[in-house]
Each structure stands twice: as C-alpha cells, then as structure tokens.
C-alpha cells in the first residue's frame, strides 16, 4: 500500500478506522513475519515469535494506561457483550446486589444480563432525558450490600461521556470502556475492573481487553465454567487456549502507533481538537444542526446530532456519502447522524466533515 492510497473519511462506530501505519506494517509482514517465512496468522500461539508479540501488547497497554502492578491485563474473546454476563457470574454472589448506572443502550444490555444471574438495581438513570446527560455524583444512589457498580464510560449510541469518574468509596467500580479506552488518560486505580472490545480504539474486532485488580479477582466465584472465569486467563497469561493472535498482533501495532504519536497526552489533545471542529459547527449553526448530548456530557468519540427533519438528514447523509464520508448515519435505534472520531480518525477527516456541514447548511438553511 503506498502512502497515497485513497482512504475514506471513515466515521464508522466500530469496527472503525485503524491507523494507516499499523495497516501498512501488517501488510508488509503478512507473508513473512520477521524472517520466519510465514505470517503471524500461521504461527503457533506457543512459539517464541507470537509470545513476544503477545507480551509486547500487554507491556504497551500497561505503559500507555499506567496500569499498576497489582492489576492483571487479559485478552479474551466474546466481545464486550460477553463481559455483560461474565462480570456478574464472577463477581455477583447470592445475597448481594449489583448496581448499574444506566446511561444508554449498552448499560441497559449489561444490566439485562446481570438480572438473569442475580440481584441488580439502577444506581441512577438518564433514560427520562433520552440519555442526553451523565448523572451528577449526588444522583448516584448506592444501596447497602452492593457487590459492584457498573458504568459505561462512553455511550457510543447517544454520544455522551463521563468527564470525571465517580468516587464509589469501598464499593468496587467496573467500567465498560469499549468506545473510549486510550482516548484520554485516567486513573486505573479507581477501578476494580475495566473492559473494552477492541474494535474502536484498540484494533480489530475479536479481542476484548480486561484490566482487573488482583485483589478483586481473588473474590471471584470459582464454581463457573473454566472459559468464563477471569482467573483461568490470569493464571495462563491469556494463553489458556488459543487467543485471537492476529487481533492481538494488530492491537500491538495500534498501541505502538499511539506511543509514537506522543502517547495519551498528545492523543487527548488531538481528540479534543477533532471533536471541537464538529461541535463548533453544530453550535455555530443556530439550530440547523442540533446536538443530542448536553454540552457538559458531550462525547469526544461519538458526536451525535440531528437536522430539522428526517428528509433533510437523508439528504445530508446522501451528500456526505457522495463526498467520500462513511459511517455518518446514527445508530439504527436512535436515527439522526453520528460521527465517530476515534483515535485513528485523522484531524483532516474532521475538518472535511466540518466543511461539509457548513456547506450543506449554506445550501439548505
Ligand atoms: C460501549 C459499548 N459496549 C459494548 C459494546 C458491544 O461490544 P461487542 O460487539 O464487542 O460485544 C459496544 C459496541 O459497540 C459498545 O459501544
């Protein structure tokens, strides 16, 4: 692939844009990985070449997120959706309750799975406002005997994001960070468990990253099937069975790219700049574009907005498609428009979207 390859303005919500340099490295190594005469896809997960790739991905994640030594970093399969069930299986014992902060479709799905396995309750919900906000700390109602509190750090569908994470004291905090992990620095030490499907900021679909505090892991229920126990993966460095080797390899390349960019400090600045381009176009449009999220809860990853009518939205999306933009339709459950500006989406793509929005308004306003 030459550097002049024409790339779409990719605003897909996930799977989504990957850094060009990571794709190019994968391409160049596809037939012959580091002189082995075969690709990483064809190698044993027990061999030294793959082991180095695996451990390098873990080391980079630890470095970029500042993960303390008393946490395990695991690579699982089953997507973030399997975590919705694994978390209560492992950490919700009889006689205790799991508290869920409901901020959108994904937290609804998470609590629905937990309900099948034990007692749950809503710590807070933004449903009444159609999930356009994030609850204030005072709105969190934590009950006695809470085994853990679950939040979704970024709501991919509604386009809201926690700015500051809540302080839950001695109650373990768990976060689904599928759609904003590695987009900004945060204190891992606040959480007992963090999970994320890879297919937004980390790499291709097929790998789920779990970061779990060792002392929390020690409290997990041992009487569940082997493949559903976090302990199985922790004990074997996520090599209990065959891991998704190619996905982990590509994730390692994405992590190396993040480091090269200047790690999370630089990535955050870029993400802020990118999101501001689009939010500024919304705010300057005087109601032609209406953002879904209240300003204080705006996601820097998924920017959701509507136009005056569905007809106008269709026209906007058709013109965007014509101009080389991909993935701008809102999630099928909410409609409207959504620009997912994950880490690998370049600033130029956001500038181009801003320009398109301004032009479309001037022609249709
Ligand atoms: C916040 C969040 N959680 C969970 C999921 C589900 O992920 P998966 O498809 O990996 O199960 C998604 C998918 O978009 C998501 O955005």
What's the CA-to-centroid distance between 80 and ligand 1, angstroms?
Answer: 5
d(CA 155, CA 148): 20
Of 97, 119, 162, 200, the catalytic one is 200
Q: Catalytic residue among 97, 119, 162, 176, which?
A: 176
Q: Among residues 97, 106, 180, 274, which one is catalytic? A: 106
Alpha helices per DSSP H over 19-47: 20-28
What is the model's pLDDT at position 3?
Answer: 52
* Residue the block writes with tokens 């901020």: 103
CB 178 less than 6 A from any atom of ligand 1 = yes
Nearest-angstrom CA–CA distance, 145 and 153:
23
**Catalytic residue check, 200:** yes
Which residues of the chain have a pLDDT value below 50?
1-2
Q: Residue 1 has what pLDDT?
A: 44
Max CA-CA distance within the chain?
A: 63
176 lines ligand 1 (CB under 6 A): yes
The reply to whether ligand 1 has any atom less than 6 angstroms from the CB of 156 is yes
Q: Is the beta carbon of 197 within 6 A of some atom in ligand 1? A: yes
Three-class secondary structure of residue 214 per DSSP = helix
Of 81, 84, 180, the one to substitute when testing ligand 1's pocket (max ligand atoms within 8 A of C-beta) is: 81
Question: Residue 80: CB within 6 Å of ligand 1?
Answer: yes
Q: Please tell me the residue having the least CA distance from ligand 1 atom 5.
A: 80
Assess whether the C-beta atom of 14 lies below 6 angstroms from ligand 1. yes
Of 64, 292, 81, 88, which is closest to residue 172 (Cα–Cα)?
88
In angstroms, the CA 328 to CA 283 distance is 18
pTM, full prediction: 0.97
Determine whether the shortest distance from the Cβ of 252 to ligand 1 is under 6 A: no
Q: Please return the burial class of 136, using the count of CB atoms within 10 Å of its CB with bins 0-12, 13-18 and 19+.
A: exposed
Q: How far is the CA of 156 from the centre of ligand 1 (A)?
A: 8
Instruction: For 298, list phi and psi in degrees, rounded to 5.
Output: -65, 135
Determine whether 106 is an active site residue. yes
Q: What angle do CA 166, 67, 205 make, to 5 degrees?
A: 90
């Amino acid at each position: 692939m030459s550097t002049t390859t024409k790339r779409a303005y990719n605003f897909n919500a996930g799977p989504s844009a990957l850094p060009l340099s990571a794709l190019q490295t994968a391409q160049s190594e596809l037939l012959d990985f580091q002189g082995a005469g075969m690709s990483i896809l064809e190698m044993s997960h027990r061999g030294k070449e793959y082991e180095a790739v695996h451990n390098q991905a873990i080391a980079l994640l630890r470095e970029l997120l500042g993960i303390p030594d008393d946490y395990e970093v695991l690579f699982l399969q089953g997507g973030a959706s399997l975590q919705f069930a694994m978390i209560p299986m492992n950490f919700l014992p009889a006689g205790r309750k799991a508290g869920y902060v409901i901020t959108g479709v994904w937290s609804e799905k998470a609590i629905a799975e937990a309900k099948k396995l034990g007692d749950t309750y809503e710590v807070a919900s933004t449903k009444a406002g159609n999930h356009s906000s994030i609850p204030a700390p005072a709105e969190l109602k934590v009950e006695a005997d809470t085994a853990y509190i679950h939040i979704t750090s970024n709501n991919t569908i509604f386009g809201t994001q926690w700015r500051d994470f809540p302080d839950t004291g001695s109650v373990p905090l768990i976060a689904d960070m599928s759609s904003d992990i590695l987009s900004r620095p945060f204190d891992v030490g606040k959480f007992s468990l963090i999970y994320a499907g890879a297919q937004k900021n980390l790499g291709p679909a097929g790998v789920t990253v779990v970061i779990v505090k060792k002392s929390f892991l020690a409290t997990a229920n041992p009487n569940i099937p082997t493949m559903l126990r976090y302990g199985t993966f922790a004990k074997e460095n996520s090599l209990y069975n065959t891991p998704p080797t190619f996905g982990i390899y590509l994730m390692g390349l994405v992590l190396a790219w993040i480091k090269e960019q200047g790690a999370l400090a630089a990535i955050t600045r870029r993400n802020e700049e990118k999101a501001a381009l689009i939010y500024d176009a919304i705010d300057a449009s005087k109601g032609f574009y209406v953002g879904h999220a209240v300003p204080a809860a705006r996601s820097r990853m998924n920017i959701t907005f509507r136009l005056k009518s569905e007809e106008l939205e269709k026209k906007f999306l058709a013109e965007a498609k014509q101009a080389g933009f991909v993935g701008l339709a809102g999630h099928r459950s909410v409609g409207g428009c959504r620009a997912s500006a994950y880490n690998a989406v370049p600033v130029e793509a956001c500038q181009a979207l801003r320009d398109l929005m301004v032009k479309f308004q001037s022609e249709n306003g």
